[in-house]
Structure 1
Amino acid sequence: MFARTTTIQGNPDSVDAGIAHVRDVVLPAVTAMEGCIGMSLLVDRESGRAIATTAWESEAAMASSAQQVLPLRDGAQEIMGASTSEVDMWELAVAHRDHAAPEGACARITWLSGYPDAERVIDVYRMTVLPHIQELAGFCSATMMLNRETGRAVGTAVFENRQQLEASREDSRRIRERSAPEMGAMIDDVAEMELAVAHLHVPEMA
């Protein structure tokens, strides 16, 4: 499985319009493309940052959709008041869902880089990180994606609501600070965002 993320730094006042556009226009168009297995949208209402993720059955399916999604990306940028977006390609390495995310769900995203061994990152996430975060109150699901060429990885944990996400901060900090050295990776960034669109139908890969 593979995934494409598109990060848009938009206007906070345009977040609701952006969510509606992705839900009503982008989601139906993308999920109708061959090989697409779903889409999600994370948003930060305070900063205007939005991250759209599409999942694909194969790297070839993801690559073949690149030109088709360009006008959809341009439209989302315009509605959200942004002139550019950042696009990243990932291998979807680990996915586990305890239960579907309800309305109001939120996610913590952790970006890593600099690891020497991709398989080590996957093993540590699967055997060390996932067993701990799935015990946290309100846990819904988790994914870990990486790019072997750039040496970057990103882990996402979804919780039922904002309160549970915030309550898990300290435990999550301890988990990542313990696991990053095991991976040989550096923690680049951590963000907490609202899961505004949750249609990423990725099969269990834990």
Structure 2
Amino acid sequence: MYARTTTVWGRPSSIDDGIANMRGSVMPELQRMHGFVGFSLLADRESGRCIAASAWQTEDAMRASAPLVVEVRDRAAQILGGTVDVADWEIAVMHRHHESAEGACVRVSWVKVDPSHVESGIDLFKHSVLPALEELEGHCSTSLLVNRATGAAVISTAYDSAEALQHHRPQLDRLRDATVEQAGAQMLEECDFELAIAHLRVPELV
């Protein structure tokens, strides 16, 4: 399974218009494409940053969709009023404790490892991080996206509410720091987002 993330750094005042456009124009366009699995949208209302993720059954399907979505993607960026960054990923891990609802809170972490350590990093994530997250009340789901060529990775963990995430923040910070150290990874950034659209139907991948 594969995913494309489209990050838009837009105007905070345009977030609701951007969400409406994604729901009303972008999703219907994607749903007509071969190999499309699902879609989600994360939004940070303070900074205006939005991350749209589309999931695909195969890498070929994801790549074939790229030229077909340019127009709707550019229109979405115009509505949000910002710049766009697009990245393609392999979905290495997808685990759900229960379905995430719109309005859930998602912590996103960007990390990087030596490309030769990607596989061992995935194993560490599966066997150490996931069991720890499963113990946390309010944890909905966790995914790990990787680029094996560059060693870049994105970890997204959804919680029922911002309050649930805030309650576990000290424990999550300790888990993150220990995992980054053990994996020999570099922590690049971390940010919390509202789950504005929850329609990502990727099967369990653990």
Band the TM-score falls in, shorter-chain normalisation: over 0.9
2-structure distance, mates of 1:151, 1:136: 28
Contact 1:101 1:158 in 2 (8 A): yes
Runs of 5+ consecutive residues of structure 1 not aligned to the other structure: none
Partner of 1:18: 18
Question: Which digits, 9 at most, give the CA deviation of each residue in 1:102-151, with x for residues without a partner?
Answer: 23201001110133411111101100111111211210001001001111
Q: CA RMSD in A?
A: 0.9
Partner of 1:81: 81
- Aligned partner of residue 33 in structure 1, secondary structure: coil
1-structure distance, mates of 2:204, 2:177: 26
Partner of 1:166: 166
2-structure distance, mates of 1:28, 1:131: 36
Contact 1:31 1:39 in 2 (8 A): no
Question: Which digits, 9 at most, give the CA deviation of each residue in 1:27-59, with x for residues without a partner?
Answer: 111122100100100000000000000010010
Contact 1:8 1:85 in 2 (8 A): yes
Moved more, 34-43 or 177-186: 177-186
- Aligned partner of residue 201 in structure 1, secondary structure: coil
TM-score (norm 1): 0.97
2-structure distance, mates of 1:77, 1:103: 21
Contact 1:11 1:47 in 2 (8 A): yes
Partner of 1:147: 147
1:180 Cα deviation from its structure 2 partner: 1.0
Partner of 1:111: 110
Partner of 1:52: 52
The total of aligned residue pairs comes to: 205
- Aligned partner of residue 69 in structure 2, secondary structure: helix
Contact 1:14 1:80 in 2 (8 A): yes
1-structure distance, mates of 2:101, 2:40: 13
1:110 counterpart letter in structure 2:
S
| Correspondences of 1:1-206 after superposition (within 5 Å) | 1-82=1-82, 84-115=83-114, 116-206=116-206
Q: Percent identity?
A: 44
1-structure distance, mates of 2:105, 2:93: 19
1:100 Cα deviation from its structure 2 partner: 1.0
2-structure distance, mates of 1:73, 1:49: 15
2-structure distance, mates of 1:102, 1:52: 16
- Aligned partner of residue 33 in structure 2, secondary structure: coil
